[in-house]
Amino acid sequence: MNGQPGRPKGLIGKMLLVCGLLTGMAGPVVAATEVDKDIPAYQKVSGVSGNLNSIGSDTLNNLMTFWAEGFRRHYPNVRIQIEGKGSSTAPPALIAGTAQLGPMSRLMKNDEIDAFIKKYGYKPTVIGTGLDSLAVYVHKDNPLNALSIPEVDAIFSKNRTCGHPNDLATWGQLGLGGEWQPRPLSIYGRNSASGTYGYFKETALCKGDFKNSVKEQPGSASVVMGITEDRQGIGYSGIGYRTSGVKTLALSKKKGETAYEPNYENVIRGKYPLSRMLYVYVAKAPNQPLPLLTREFLKFVLSREGQEIVVKDGYLPMPAAIVKRELAKLE
């Protein structure tokens, strides 16, 4: 299977664009700290050497680093360089040939795919590598516990395309009383090079535009740090960047519906509205295997050890059925 699949509609569909996570999944849900026991362990092979470059997502920057460290334990002579300045840097790097791996926290846009096809004559291959619940964070002392997507939109967006009737600018408008009631929202977000920015804009803002008052940060860790140091802060970042200085909010699709925490079970069941997959794009010619070094690195990512690294970095592992489907794309 090569290239990019069609784009199913709806929040769950967007999360599972690559492989239809809920389709055909058998057995119980794996606990958040456990990796599916049916995922095979990595098997070392001979002949793996050389240099590997990764350019792309900031969200995946730490994961790529940890995967590289784990991979080099098997192949000490391999050199892996990782640069994570945003998902939008991945397609140009793959097209220019300056990277073999293009980690992205969103799917490629049509114009990015078109540019890739113009260079190579075929579509890029996208590999699902792990799951993420894109979290809305507030300061650890904030008493707020839940929001609806239309409320999130009214906080971050100037358009309110998701349908909330009025702008939300203070904590009192979100139901907080006492000292919190008059306090203005202090909003943190990512810059436009970020795949997280693009995903949040499409999914949480219903494709609306961010407010000018959003404090754009260069990385996911910067968003969380900003909220940690700002009691009135609210922002969004991948679940892997959660710290003790912030707390995550449960989210509902509509006001009055059940709000779900950004945990593994809610992601797998399709209940959490901002669930997504984390990807690595590669240039793979049709009906040809990937180069050995690239293929083995991705096999490591999709091994039991690789998925254990996903968990250790605070993200969510994939079920064995999905790992098997992604592995088939490498051959």
Within a domain: residue 266? no
Asked whether residue 283 falls in the same domain as residue 323, the answer is: yes
What is the chain's pLDDT, residue by residue, as a tens digit (331 residues)?
A: 344 433 333 333 443 443 344 333 333 333 446 899 999 999 999 999 999 999 999 999 999 999 999 999 999 999 999 999 999 999 999 999 999 999 999 999 999 999 999 999 999 999 999 999 999 999 999 999 999 999 999 999 999 999 999 999 999 999 999 999 999 999 999 999 999 999 999 999 999 999 999 999 999 999 999 999 999 999 999 999 999 999 999 999 999 999 999 999 999 899 999 999 999 999 999 989 999 999 999 999 999 999 999 999 999 999 999 999 999 999 8
Q: What CATH number is attached to the domain comprising 144?
A: 3.40.190.10
Asked whether residue 218 falls in the same domain as residue 282, the answer is: no
Domain boundary among 202, 227, 261: 261
Q: What whole-number distance in Å separates Cα of residue 57 and Cα of residue 60?
A: 5
Within a domain: residue 6? no
Within a domain: residue 315? yes
Within a domain: residue 273? no
Return all residues near 301 (Cβ < 8 A) that are at least 6 apart: 67, 127, 129, 280
Asked whether residue 141 falls in the same domain as residue 257, the answer is: yes
Asked whether residue 139 falls in the same domain as residue 255, the answer is: yes
- Convert 241-255 to b/e letters by CB count within 10 Å (16 or more is b): bbeeebbbbbbbbee
pLDDT of residue 33: 61
Asked whether residue 169 falls in the same domain as residue 97, the answer is: no
Within a domain: residue 272? no
Tokens of 82: 């990782």
Asked whether residue 48 falls in the same domain as residue 124, the answer is: yes
Domain boundary among 227, 261, 295: 261
Q: How many CB atoms lie within 10 A of CB 77?
A: 8
Domain boundary among 208, 229, 261: 261
Asked whether residue 26 falls in the same domain as residue 94, the answer is: yes
Asked whether residue 308 falls in the same domain as residue 239, the answer is: no
pLDDT of residue 45: 97
Q: What whole-number distance in Å separates Cα of residue 71 and Cα of residue 78?
A: 9
Asked whether residue 144 falls in the same domain as residue 163, the answer is: yes
Within a domain: residue 267? no
Asked whether residue 250 falls in the same domain as residue 163, the answer is: yes
pLDDT of residue 331: 86
Asked whether residue 144 falls in the same domain as residue 240, the answer is: yes
Q: Which domain holds residue 155?
A: 135-261
Asked whether residue 25 falls in the same domain as residue 104, the answer is: yes
User: What total of structural domains would you count in the chain?
Assistant: 2
Q: What whole-number distance in Å separates Cα of residue 76 and Cα of residue 73?
A: 6
At residue 129, the 3 state secondary structure works out as: strand
